[in-house]
Structure 1
Amino acid sequence: MLVDDAVALVPSIPGRRALLGLVGAPAAGKSTLARRLVAGVNERLGADTAAYVPMDGFHLSNAQLDRLGLRDRKGAPETFDVDGYVQLLRRLRSERERPVYAPDFDRRLDEPVAAGLVVPAGTGLVVTEGNYLADDGPGWGHVRDLLDELWYVDAPRRLRERRLLRRHVRGGRTESEARAFITASERPNALRVERGRAHCTRIVVPGQPDENGTWEV
């Protein structure tokens, strides 16, 4: 089971924290899997043994995207603060004496939220996830260097795009606007993500996926 493998990553050496990365195309089910892994590890080893820190907290704000002319490319690699994300990963690996605060992403606001998450000092495993953890673009290669393992989360394109359509409509787009955004942005981003599969240590495929994502962990 996947939880067994996540538990095995929890280090026994004092002062060391392990980082597990999950990468995959938009709406592949990365966040669902990450949360279930964290819950499973904590159930086995005790509360706060594992924590969840998504890459999405490093989305550039909508104001910055407007300034850069990238609002219609939101979700592409250049619309994230990769350097900030790398610095957080470095701190998570080395800082065990004090809590580490991390940004979160609010889908209702469609904006990052500063210090929305906290990793307690005693946490031994951080599960992080995002689209570009295996990317070769500027800055992204440093992410792989900081991860103990990197799992590629695979899911059929048709299922992913149904989830994306529902997500964007719930976020305020009309159905036609959502479909246009998926075609213009989400689909090219997914193709770019898929090119990073070779950098991953494992391919994870959900069993019998449904609209909400079903994981046997």
Structure 2
Amino acid sequence: MDPYSLYFEMNRAEWSELRYSSTPSISREEFDRRKGFHDRISFQEVEDIYLPLSRFIHLQASAARQLHEASATFLQHKREKVPFVIGIAGSVAVGKSTTARLLQALLSREPWRPQVDLITTDGFLFPNRVLEERGLMKRKGFPESYDTKKLLQCIRDIKAGKPDIVVPQYSHLSYDIVEGEAQLVHNPDILIVEGINVLQVTRDAKVFVSDFFDFSIYVDADERDIERWYVERFLMLRDTAFRNPQSYFHRYASLSEDEANHTATGIWKEINALNLRENIRPTKGRAKLILRKGPDHAIERLFVRK
């Protein structure tokens, strides 16, 4: 790497050596509950990658708290709690959700026992009826399919310390916003915001979601690997969740393996690959930390912003 790059580059072995022996871990059972569907990472990933990462973020959050307290003292303002906000971005099927859930579990076990909340930007997609009215169902996940104004207001309010923020809920079963259901975010110490769009910027906007982040992560991998993971996940869903009559994708449950492969590959190329190239991957350089995965889902290299 260019010695004047904005990032320090570390391999897996170098990073794993940064683990503190006192860092609290999670059980194998909790690891299995928190890893994503078809995310075939090993429990060793917690030891080698996520424990050092949890400690690194803990140091960042502690420094941010100290700076906030010092500023409040200088300005003679009340020391209201300001959440430390982490954004996690990356492609569909790359394993963002697993990264977010593992970090939520590990960070909540730090000695100061912070309240760590996790929200996803899926809840800020426009409802399907709106997307259908606007002819955007095949653009779901692209910037125009999100209610960005509502997302920005939500993150701004949480960062400002406003209590009891209501976050819309999304169902991957119905492939739609769930009317009448919401997640209540009550003044957390740490907030994790996960989604493909969290590092994106637009020309006509003056404020971006990432403006409210204290730390950001991009989960990266070779596009050919991500495509393979997406197709494999589709095949597993065909044999599981798609069989539920209430599933939006129930029609795919009866596909043969060849038909399912063809369908998944087509969806990837027409929608997800296009979105990755145009809107997601270009945001990678805006992250403070890049986790680079190999073909087996294991994180091989890390790039830390200087």
TM-score category (smaller protein)? 0.7 to 0.9
Q: Is the 8 A contact 2:141 2:275 kept in 1?
A: yes
Q: Does 1:199 align with 2:286?
A: yes
Q: Which amino acid aligns with 1:199?
A: R
Q: Which has the higher contact order (CA 8 A, sep 6+)?
A: 1
The alpha-carbon distance between structure 1 residues 6 and 167, as it changes in their structure 2 partners (threshold 3 A), is: same
For residues 77-126 of structure 1, what are the alpha-carbon distances to aligned partners after superposition, in whole Å with 9 as ceiling and x for unaligned? 11111111111100110125x332212321111112355322233x2110
Change (3 A) 1:117 1:45: farther
Query: CA offsets per residue over residues 148-190 of structure 1, 9 Å max, x none?
Result: 1222111222332233224445252452333221111100111
Residues 1:99 and 2:185 are matched in the alignment: no
1:85 corresponds, among 121, 136, 151, to 151
Quote the Cα distance in structure 1 between the aligned partners of 2:206 and 2:148: 7
5+ unaligned residues in a row in structure 1: which ranges? none
CA 1:140/1:166 → structure 2, altered by over 3 Å: closer, same or farther? farther
1:109 matched to 2:196 = no
**Corresponding residue for residue 21 of structure 1:** 87
Deviation at 1:144, TM superposition (A): 1.8
Q: TM-score, normalised by structure 2?
A: 0.62
Q: CA separation in 1, counterparts of 2:154 and 2:233?
A: 27
Question: Which residue of structure 2 aligns with residue 162 of structure 1?
Answer: 228
Indicate conservation of the 8 Å contact 2:291/2:299, yes or no.
no
Equivalent-residue separation in structure 2 for 1:48 and 1:185 (angstroms): 38
Which of 29, 49, 56 does residue 5 from structure 1 map onto?
A: 56
DSSP-derived class of the 1:44 partner: coil
Which residue identity is paired with 2:116?
Answer: A
Map Cα deviations across residues 5-39 of structure 1 (whole Å, 9 max, x no partner).
Answer: 22232553442111111111222211110111010
RMSD of aligned Cα (Å): 2.4
Cα distance in 2 for residues equivalent to 1:149 and 1:60 = 27
TM-score by length of 1: 0.85
Task: Specify the code of the residue in structure 1 equivalent to 2:56.
Answer: D
Report the number of matched residues.
211
- In structure 2, runs of 5+ residues without a counterpart are 1-51, 70-79, 243-248, 301-306
Query: Match for 2:213: what amino acid?
Result: L
CA shift in 2, pair 1:47/1:99, >3 Å: farther
**1:179 aligned residue:** 265
The answer for the alignment partner of 1:120 in structure 2 is: 186
State the identity %: 23
